[in-house]
Structure 1
Amino acid sequence: MIRPVTLLISALSLGACAVGPDYAPPALDLPQRWSAATSGPRAPRPSEWWRSLRDPTLNALIEQAIAGNLDVAQAKARIREARATREQAVGALFPQVDAGAVATRSRSALVTRNSFRAGFDASWEIDLFGARDRAVEAATYGTDAAFDDLDTVMLTLIGDVASTYVETRGLQARIALARSTARTQRETEALTRTRFRAGDISAIDTARATAQAAGTESQIPLLEASLAQNQHRLAVLTGRPPAAMAPYFARPAAVPATPAPPRAGIPADVLRRRPDVRSAERLLAQATARIGQAEANRYPSVSLTGSISTSALKLGDLAKNSAIGWSIGPSLSVPIFNGGELAAAVDAARAQRDRQDAALRLAVLTALQDVEDSLVGLRQERRRLGSLSEAATASTEAARLSRALYTSGTASFLDVLEAQRSQYAAEESLIQSRVALATQFIALNKALGGGWLRPVDVSTPAVIDERTGPRLRILPIEEPQP
């Protein structure tokens, strides 16, 4: 009996097949070069690009964010979940064996009897048409996508920390400029009061000087509120309470200088470097595998079941040959009528595959747009910064000259007010342009897929459970609510 069953198992295993489409990466129509690129198509080099900004505080904040950010912690947990799901799918490929034992004591007609029974039950669904193999394939693709999602989270996190940090330094510079300008305007106000008391000018000049100084001072609380909010955001990004960033910004520092732009490579490099594109491709592969899994459910299934049991009236007799029995044999299940449920499951899987195909193509187009936008923005902002630098220098000189001429009585006070207003606006625009240039640099590196290069521990759970074995459970007694 055993030999024919063994031959049947071997035949079924050798004859196992797969149904549904086999995954192949889709052909994508990509341009040969970036339209906004100014250099040759040299491949981007892997690097932790934020270090080129040469700001130790920024480097420290990014290190803390990678270690403590809660979005990163969730992405790590999703990797462990995906791995466990794959292990479950692999485990379904193997036979399932259960053991059991029963001991009873009965009394009938003044006779007391004992009986004992023990045995093993085994079952194995042969993966004849590849349903479970497709499940393993889909789970494997899902695990790959989970790793890519972690890279995406870290890429976004690093960009958010860097851009928020740059903006925070810009706010500090704008606050310092507003305070300095307000002091100068108050000095001008004092000068007008002196001249007014001497009878050289009218009261309107003093009122104008007071209004301009007060208007500049009114900007400071708004800037300080934005500065505090940015610090709170940085703290949350690093996984810390909102007030934890105050020591890092106790002393103002300059906006990090923007280095030369990174190599952009060619558009095809985006497919390899962008983790969101890689994740979308893996999810498309997973959806394709699930079509085969759904399709296999429409075909017959073959299972092999067996059991070995022993029963006796005495515990010592359980091992006797006469007490042991066994059974083994295959079973066949053929879906005949299910109201179209299985066919609809295949259609749903195909629709999900088409949805993932569209998501992949959208991810590619979005990535291409991100790079093109960042290349244009970085180049144009650099040109704008040059013009604003020239304007700020000229405005500073004009303000100095107008104040000197007003002091000597050869210029009107309106000239002084206009010159000071223009100087403040030009210097503030210069600071904002420096922030925008650094932000565009950050955006370009994000668009090119540059990010964290060092290993990240994804195996250690964040929450360690204690006392998980069998134990007496004591439920807490809750006091009644008043």
Structure 2
Amino acid sequence: MQGAKYAALITGTALLLAGCAVGPDYQKPDMPLSSHWRNANADTPSRPPELAYWWKKLDDPLLNQLIEEAIENNLDVRTSKAKVREARASYRQTNGALFPTLDASGSATRSKAAGSNGSTGTVGNLYNGGFDASWELDLFGANRRASEASKYGLDAAEEELRATLLTLIGDVTTNYVEARGYQSRIALARRTAESQDETAKLTRNRFQVGSSSGLDVANAEGQASSTAANIPTLQTAFASSVHRLGVLTGREPTALTDRMKRSTSIPTPRLPMPSGVPATVLLTRPDVRLAERQLAQSTANIGAAEAAKYPAVSLTGSIATSAAKFGDLGKNSSISWSFGPTLSVPIFNAGKLAAAADVARAQRDQYFLAYKSSVLSALEDVENALVGFSQERVRLRSLQKSVDSYRNAASLSQSLYQTGSVSFLDVLDADRSLYSAEDSLIQSKVLLTTYYISLQKALGGGWSGDVDTSKPEVVDQNAGPRLALTKTASKSQ
């Protein structure tokens, strides 16, 4: 009876102290931000941006397919999924420390005692069985803080997955747009080189009849060869972009060569593009949210380190039974039990526990600064993308005017050359200027879309669909209990 009262007293005390905790409680840092983007304009109004599936606004079906394939097969994404599974299992493991543990044991022994005075001795059996239970009362919240830290760690792993998806989608879109740009530049170089070859032939024919000089022939042939020399370089760059797309989609580098062979127009964003307000990045950027969850996790770790400096109390109990006959194991006379608390008090540890708490605080400070840095970097990314996008639009309009003017100049120079009003060098110069302006215009279109991609990434746009993180990459076969059979591995030929 007294044992029962004692147990009730211990249990009541444990429940009373169950709400105790040491260390700081986490509070999300307050980051004062401006109410508007400094570099926003009419092309990027401040209404909430439509970040879900932003790449579909480029209206390119093949790009949409490649992004879906990359999300399914990309190795970095699959690695991040495995990290989520690891964090989820770690959280379950840490949570287990909050509950009692129970172990069962049993044994059966047959033995012979040595005889005396010439007797043969006696043979007997002994059966044992029992249960051992223990429960750490967690008076100062060490286990609860550890569980809290694991939960924040799981949140961080999920945000890391989102950050990986955001980066992946941006990389796939950027490489796809660059590949289309290289295709357009290759086509332009081929058209221009073919036209310049025709000009060189006509100049050579004119030279043969005395209507042109050898200098004109040499200049015409040299310009045609110079333009043609750009094609191999552009082909190499195009192949590199396609190979990168293949790897990003989890395939061999050349897997997309045939699908990318047919040239299409460079994807162009539709305007206007809402940019929201600076506070948007705190809600949508996965890298910012990842840094905030890591700060929360490091704060919880301080509590766990602090709790180690305080006494620890555990309740332990056991029930055992022992009998010479198996049927007697349940008899009252064969049963023994014990129950009571265990107290552990840190008395002297040369400052090791205090130092561990100081380490946790210093780590918390590092994650706090990392969080602030991630916010500032996010704001910087958005402002840079806004400036780049708006200025590239201005440049694109100027380049378009330049192309129109040089096209007129090239046509006029041909007409004036026929009448002898200008030299052949003027014709070649106008043709060279037109090719350069057209090539710059294509590059500007690629760069404009690249800034659009950068802005969507900077605002936190990414994959908004479901991502299955439960499927393991390696499925073990026949992993349960079985007979161990030694197999000789065959040597590879």
Q: How do 1:258-337 and structure 2 match up within 5 A? A: 258-337=269-348
Mapped contact 2:51–2:456 kept (Cα < 8 A): no
Match of 1:409, as an amino acid? G
Deviations 1:142-199 (A, max 9, x none): 1111111111111111111111100000000000000001001101110110111112
Match of 1:100, as an amino acid? S
Higher mean C-alpha deviation, range 113-122 or range 395-404:
395-404
Q: Does residue 421 of the first structure (1) align with residue 432 of the second (2)? A: yes
Q: How do 1:138-217 and structure 2 match up within 5 A? A: 138-217=149-228
Aligned to 2:229: 218
Q: Does residue 368 of the first structure (1) align with residue 379 of the second (2)? A: yes
Mapped contact 2:51–2:460 kept (Cα < 8 A): no
**Which whole-Å CA distance do the structure 2 matches of 1:270 and 1:239 have between them?**
29
Match of 2:273, as an amino acid? P
Aligned to 2:15: 13
| Unaligned stretches of 5+ residues in structure 1 | none
**Which whole-Å CA distance do the structure 1 matches of 2:68 and 2:491 have between them?**
48
Aligned to 1:397: 408
- How big is the shift at 1:202? 2.1
Match of 1:328, as an amino acid? F
Aligned to 2:94: 89
Secondary structure, aligned partner of 1:104: strand
Secondary structure, aligned partner of 1:101: strand
Secondary structure, aligned partner of 1:258: coil
Mapped contact 2:87–2:157 kept (Cα < 8 A): yes
Aligned to 2:33: 30
Secondary structure, aligned partner of 1:124: strand
Q: Does residue 248 of the first structure (1) align with residue 253 of the second (2)? A: no
Higher mean C-alpha deviation, range 2-11 or range 282-291:
2-11
Match of 1:306, as an amino acid? G
**Which whole-Å CA distance do the structure 2 matches of 1:388 and 1:58 have between them?**
27
- How big is the shift at 1:310? 0.5
**Which whole-Å CA distance do the structure 1 matches of 2:435 and 2:241 have between them?**
23
Secondary structure, aligned partner of 2:415: helix
Deviations 1:251-300 (A, max 9, x none): 10010122114211111111001111011001100000000000000000
**Which whole-Å CA distance do the structure 2 matches of 1:29 and 1:54 have between them?**
37
**Which whole-Å CA distance do the structure 2 matches of 1:181 and 1:481 have between them?**
55
Mapped contact 1:135–1:290 kept (Cα < 8 A): yes
- Alignment equivalent of 1:230, drawn from 230, 241, 262: 241
- Alignment equivalent of 2:111, drawn from 98, 103, 106: 106
Higher mean C-alpha deviation, range 100-109 or range 355-364:
100-109
Which TM-score applies when normalising by structure 1? 0.97
- Alignment equivalent of 1:68, drawn from 61, 70, 73: 73
Aligned to 2:84: 79
Mapped contact 1:262–1:445 kept (Cα < 8 A): no
Q: Does residue 57 of the first structure (1) align with residue 59 of the second (2)? A: no
Match of 2:488, as an amino acid? I
- How big is the shift at 1:480? 9.0
Match of 2:41, as an amino acid? T
Deviations 1:422-476 (A, max 9, x none): 0110000000000000111111111111111111111122222221110122233
- Shift in alpha-carbon separation, 1:306–1:430, aligned structure 2, 3 A: same
Aligned to 1:116: 127
- Alignment equivalent of 1:463, drawn from 450, 474, 477: 474
Which TM-score applies when normalising by structure 2? 0.95
Mapped contact 1:261–1:441 kept (Cα < 8 A): no
**Which whole-Å CA distance do the structure 2 matches of 1:241 and 1:479 have between them?**
29
- How big is the shift at 1:353? 0.2
How large is the RMSD of aligned CA atoms in angstroms? 1.5
Secondary structure, aligned partner of 2:275: coil
Give percent identity, aligned residues only.
Answer: 54
Match of 1:290, as an amino acid? N
**Which whole-Å CA distance do the structure 2 matches of 1:141 and 1:249 have between them?**
43
- Shift in alpha-carbon separation, 1:45–1:479, aligned structure 2, 3 A: closer
- Shift in alpha-carbon separation, 1:189–1:461, aligned structure 2, 3 A: same
- Alignment equivalent of 2:463, drawn from 445, 452, 460: 452
**Which whole-Å CA distance do the structure 1 matches of 2:207 and 2:344 have between them?**
105
Secondary structure, aligned partner of 2:258: helix
**Which whole-Å CA distance do the structure 2 matches of 1:354 and 1:246 have between them?**
49
Deviations 1:384-414 (A, max 9, x none): 0000001011111211221233234332111
- Shift in alpha-carbon separation, 1:235–1:479, aligned structure 2, 3 A: closer
Secondary structure, aligned partner of 1:245: coil
Instruction: Give the number of equivalent residue pairs.
Output: 482
**Which whole-Å CA distance do the structure 1 matches of 2:492 and 2:432 have between them?**
65
Secondary structure, aligned partner of 1:267: coil
Deviations 1:318-342 (A, max 9, x none): 1111111100100100001111111
Secondary structure, aligned partner of 1:92: helix
**Which whole-Å CA distance do the structure 2 matches of 1:45 and 1:4 have between them?**
64
- How big is the shift at 1:478? 4.9
